[in-house]
Each structure stands twice: as structure tokens, then as C-alpha cells.
Structure 1
């Protein structure tokens, strides 16, 4: 095909492409456009896949557990009853364990996910999962008081990992100190109870012993003659008198000796104080003598302490 020229009114002539060259240029432009269209389709496809993957990830993290909780709460898992197991060997009974096994997960794992979802909610649980919070920490957070747990949930929703970890550490530390204090108080209370128990056991034993002795004495008195009774009573009061006398001649006399030595060494006289103590003892003995109208000593006999038997 021959080329032609066009003469503009006010310019040079412009060449005009022949038909073959025009067709080639058109084909090249179509090929270039098709190439761009394929690339655009591929980019859109990849973007869609990425978005779908993100949506599925969001679904698997937040909705799946919610759906499983719905299945468990409404016992929908019973619908699998009568179906064969994946191995085809057994007929399933429609239990929650079997349902979890069909999902390839253990009952503990699913129940733990449901417990976390109920405790923290989907939004906070997703956020904590993205922060890398594991099951161990989540279990620890579930045990916190409601107000502290609510504070953690609000911070988790904000998505600030550093603020969340700081708050969690502060709460855990505070609760650990409170637990330690309560444990110490409990130990102290238990120690007091143990001490009181030992005292009560000792008192109970002493009381039982006293009751046994009292019962023995009662039976002995019932069977004893008047001479036996007075003999025992004399022995008892004589023993008391001996203890009092031993205290006076032993500990009281020793104290007086130490006071005398102190007075001699320091130029002091303690005899007035000592005489007052003796007078008080004499008054006490005189009171007993007067109460029972006792003579100075038995008439016609030597003092008791001078008898051969007492000596």
C-alpha cells in the first residue's frame, strides 16, 4: 500500500502510515493492554486471596471458638450419634469428646478456648493472641478479681502491648504479695490453733487424771474407817505444812541472806523490810489459829515438831 502525505494549511506535510504499519501498531497496543490487564487481574486475585486469608484467620481466631461454645451449650454435638468414626470402625455416641476429636483437638484445648472467650471476649482475646499471650498467662488472668480482669480487658482492646504487659505485671505482683500476706496470716492462725490444741490436750489430760484420782479417793473414802480418813487427812495437811516450812527455811531464808550481804556491802539496813514480811506470815498463821480456835500447843504434850515420830 502506498504512503500518502497530508498538507496542513499552515505547516509542513505530515506522513501518513500505510495500512500494514497501522495494523502492527494496533496489535502491539492491544498486546500491551492485555499484558497490563493480566497483571491487574493477578494483583487483584492475590489481594483478594490475602484478604480472604486475613478474614479466615480472623474467623478462626474469634468466631470458631464462639461457634464451638454454641455447639456445646446447646448440645448440638449429639447430632453425630450413629455416624462412623473417621476410621470407620466404630459408631459414635454423640459425645462432646467425639465431636472435639472430629475437629482434631482435645476436649481440654477446646474447653480452655471457650473459657478464655467467655472471660475476655472476642476483641480482647484476639488482641492478646496477637501480643503473644499464651494459655498459661490467660489461665492466670482468668483467676484475677473481676475489676482487675476488666482493667486488663480494656487495655488489651486498645492493642498497646507494652501498656498491657506493664499492667498485667503490676496486678500479678500485687496479688502475689496479698496472697503471701494471707498465707502468712493463715500460718499464724494455724500455729495459734496448734498451740491452743496442745494446751487444751494437756489440760484435758490433767483433768482426766484429776478425775481419776478424785474417783479413786471417793471410793477409798467410802470404804475407809474414820481412823483411816483422819490419818489420811493428817498426812495431807502435814505435807502442806512441810512444803510451807521448806519454802520459809529454804527460799525465803536464802533471800534474806542475800539482802543481808547487800546491806553490809552498801551500808543499808533491810531488817525492817524483812521483819514486815515475817510479821505478815505471823498474822496469816494467827488468822488460821483464830479461825479454828487452836491453842498454842497441845496441852500436856510437847510441840508436834519435838515428838520422836515427827523428828
Structure 2
């Protein structure tokens, strides 16, 4: 066998083959790439390696993949354009798919190797390959958070398969748990969002109903005599005042009574707090009185809604 020819940094050393070893397909591959440029040499040698199954299998995965990545990134496969197909029945278009097919591998396989190389690095990838780590596992490692992936790569570089497998299982389990927790939080968030949407939809429906009622009332008032409109409006306002007084004498008074019981049991004085609430109500009422320039009414013995004329 002839002495191996030295190639450039971008090419792969390929033993020269004597005439007896060259098959018809090898001759066809050699004829396809007849340029002497480094890029053509690289394509020629990769295709030649594909023809020599034993040599191609022994070729380092990382080195082989780095060369293939170089071909893809620099689109060197375009150099095949116009060359005859292996069967001699047509011409090549110079595509990445065609180039992978000439190597006897699928685009998915080679692209997966390139992705692993870029994500894991040459040293770690080479070590994992020797450990027998498959594509499915490497795909999982690529998807890990950066810090976990870095830790796994460092262990892989040591070549200790047992330590690597233990760490990988621990990290994958942790990552799966984090993913599950994240998915659960997402489900809870979606549930909260749906609940809020239902509440908003209900409030919107209530608001629309209120608007419709107000519109009906407005039209009804427009069709009523002035004295009847005044009477109805007074009744509505009196009802609001009655509701406010009922809340004060009911809920507010009940709350004050509970504070009084608590004060008797604990000795804590709530009078200042209660006085503050009363003062705020007084200020609110005084603001309304001032806004509408209302006179003082001396006879406040009976609420206005109990007045026979208003009733």
C-alpha cells in the first residue's frame, strides 16, 4: 500500500488505495471530485472514507463530526453540483441531503452528531461515545440547564463511566422534578386565569344588565310627568340612605359590639379606633351636605323615608 499523503488542517489523512482495492463505486466517487483545492480534497476524502467501511468506522467520531460540521457550515457540499450520480443516470444538485446520502448516513444522524458536538464539546462527546452513551441520552443532556450540563461534561471528561452514569441519573431526575413542578405551577396559573376570566365574564354580564336597566329607567323617566319622576327619584335615593343607615345600625354596630367584648376580655381599648370610623362617616356626610349646599334640618326625629309624603 502506498504511503499516506499528508493533507491540510481541514482534511483527513486517507491511506492511498491500490488499484485492486478500488471498487467501481470508489472510482466513480474519485471522478466526481477532481479539484485539488483543500475544500475539494475534504469532500473527496470524506466520500472516500465512506467507501472504506472499516476505516470510516474506526475514524474518531468527534474528528469526523467536526469535519462534517465544517462542510455544512461552509456549504462545501455545493461542490458536488453538476457531478454525475453514483449510478451515472443523472447529475447531483449539490445539496446537504445528497452529501449525507453519499456518506451512507441520514441527514438526521449527521445533524444529531453535529448538535451533540456543539453542545457537549469534542472531549466529552468522545468520552461519552466510548462509554456507549446513545443518541437519546445525549439529546437529554443537551436540554439540561447550563450549570447541570457543564457538571455532567466535566465528569464525562474523566472517563469514569460509573461516576458519569450516577451523576447523569441524579441530574435527569432533578431536572424531571423541576419540570414537573413548573408544569404544576403552570396548571395552577392557568386555573387561576380561568377562574379570573369567569369572574370577569360574570361582572361584565352584570354590568351589561345594569346598563340595560338604567337605559330602561331613563326611557321610563323621560315618558313620566315631572312630579312622578321627582317622586320616584326621591324613593330611590331614600332607599340608598335607608340601606346605609341599616349597615351602620346593623353590621357596623355589631362589629363595635365585638370590639367591646374583646376589650372587656383583653383590656385593650378600641374606643379611639371606633371613634375614628365614626368621624370618617361624619366627614363623608358633611362632604355630601356641602357639595349639594344642603340646609340644616332641626327636626330629625324621623328618617325621611318614614315621611308619609315621601312614602
Report the TM range for the smaller structure's normalisation: 0.5 to 0.7
Over the residues paired in the alignment, what is the CA RMSD in angstroms?
A: 4.0
Instruction: Check 1:211–1:225 CA distance in 2 against 1; reply closer, same or farther (3 A cut).
Output: same
Computing the radius of gyration over CA atoms, which structure comes out larger, 1 or 2? 1
Deviation per CA, 1:95-123: give whole Å up to 9, x if none.
11111111121111110011111112222
Structure 1 stretch displaced more, 57-66 or 199-208 = 57-66
The residue number in structure 1 matching 2:200 is 200
Instruction: Check 1:92–1:292 CA distance in 2 against 1; reply closer, same or farther (3 A cut).
Output: farther
Instruction: Check 1:291–1:132 CA distance in 2 against 1; reply closer, same or farther (3 A cut).
Output: farther
Gaps of 5+ in 2: 1-52, 245-295
Q: Which has the higher contact order (CA 8 A, sep 6+)?
A: 2
Q: What is the DSSP-based 3-state SS (H/G/I as helix, E as strand, rest coil) of the residue aligned with 1:136?
A: helix
Deviation per CA, 1:68-116: give whole Å up to 9, x if none.
0000011100000011222333322111111111112111111001111
The residue number in structure 2 matching 1:153 is 153
Structure 1 stretch displaced more, 116-125 or 195-204 = 116-125
The residue number in structure 1 matching 2:138 is 138
With normalisation by structure 2, the TM-score equals 0.58
**CA deviation after TM superposition for structure 1 residue 223, in Å:** 2.8
Q: How many residues align?
A: 218
The residue number in structure 2 matching 1:118 is 118
* CA distance in structure 2 between the partners assigned to 1:58 and 1:200 by the alignment: 67
* CA distance in structure 1 between the partners assigned to 2:298 and 2:215 by the alignment: 29
* CA distance in structure 2 between the partners assigned to 1:148 and 1:185 by the alignment: 22
With normalisation by structure 1, the TM-score equals 0.58
Gaps of 5+ in 1: 1-52, 245-289, 298-302, 305-309
Structure with greater helix share of residues: 1
Instruction: Check 1:133–1:295 CA distance in 2 against 1; reply closer, same or farther (3 A cut).
Output: closer
